[in-house]
Structure 1
Amino acid sequence: MSTGRPATSVSTHVLDTALGRPAGGVAVELSAAGAQGGWTALGGSVTDADGRCEDLPAPPADTTRIRLRFEVGPYLSGRAGAGTAFFPEVTVDFTVAPGEHHHVPLLLSPYGYSVYRGS
């Protein structure tokens, strides 16, 4: 059933800023919340060799917020000599506008991270 509203979409990618390359193999989970609140896990994906995750599920039409959970611990711990990851996961919660594409990259290093709305 169509709501008449354009679809909202979400994509992401993870860049390892310490190594200067994409972070492949990072699991990403997408959850959505509507105007009534309450999170619903919609599914997820794993970043490819280019660090991109472009096949995340489309959020429902009434979505007002998205949460991306990046499972970065295995990636960071797997780097040569890295040991245990300081940040085992990164969670990003952001608002969405109906019909817009939201690209939210994660810039990752062993002891810090940042995110931004990309294009």
Structure 2
Amino acid sequence: MPSDDGTEAEFHARISTHILDTVSGEPARDVYVRLERRDSEGWRTIGEGRTDDDGRLRYRVPTHEWQAGGYRLFFYVEPYLGEGCFFPEVTVGFHVRDPERKYHVPLLLSNFGYTTYRGS
């Protein structure tokens, strides 16, 4: 993303996710995922995209947006799982305490449940 002076802005690529369909054992492809940060006015979108063929998504977050604080990933999984799923969307909230560290938030997914954890 160009900055005001026309140069390439500095980005942190320290947040990623991976969605695995635990029923099929395959990556969940083309799932919409939104990254939000909490500030004084509430939640604000700072990144969004779709998982790739390996079920992964890495965000390019501008340095000024990636700081200690509250974040959440919103996974819109119903189009992937189908109308018969119990959880049409999954929201995972987490805290970034050290913005210099890598944060990987995987999602293990099925029609009737999900699991997440802090990965590396």
User: What is the TM-score of this pair, normalised by structure 1?
Assistant: 0.81
Q: Which runs of 5+ in 1 are unaligned?
A: 1-6, 78-82
Describe how 1:41-52 pairs up with structure 2 within 5 A: 41-52=45-56
Partners in 1 of 2:66 and 2:91 — Cα distance? 22
Gaps of 5+ in 2: 1-11
Q: 1:24 to 1:8 in 2, by over 3 A?
A: closer
Residue 75 of structure 1: SS of its match in structure 2?
Answer: helix
Task: Give the Cα separation in 2 of the matches to 1:63 and 1:100.
Answer: 11
Instruction: Quote the RMSD (CA, aligned, Å).
Output: 1.9
Aligned counterpart for 1:13 among listed residues 10, 15, 18: 18
Q: Percent identity?
A: 48
Which residue, 57, 71, 91 being the options, matches 1:66? Answer: 71
Matches of 1:115 and 1:61 in 2, distance apart? Answer: 21
> Secondary structure at 2:81's aligned position in 1?
helix
Partner secondary structure for residue 74 of structure 1: helix
Aligned residues of 1:33 and 1:63 also touching (Cα < 8 A): no
Q: How does 1:106-117 map to 2 (within 5 A)?
A: 106-117=107-118
Q: CA deviation at 1:42?
A: 1.0
Distance in 1 (alpha carbons) for counterparts of 2:66 and 2:52: 27
Q: Residue 85 of structure 1: CA displacement?
A: 1.9
Per the TM alignment, residue 110 of structure 1 is displaced from its structure 2 partner at its CA by 0.8
CA distances 1:12-64 after superposition (whole Å, capped 9, x unpaired) = 01000111110001000000124x4621111201001100001x241614441
Provide the TM-score with structure 2 as the length reference. 0.80
Mapped contact 1:30–1:69 kept (Cα < 8 A): yes
Runs of 4+ in structure 1 over 3 Å off: none
Q: Quick one: structure 1 residues 111 and 8, their matched pair in 2 at CA, closer, same or farther if it must change by over 3 Å?
A: same
Aligned residue number for residue 87 of structure 2:
87
Amino acid at match of 2:27: P
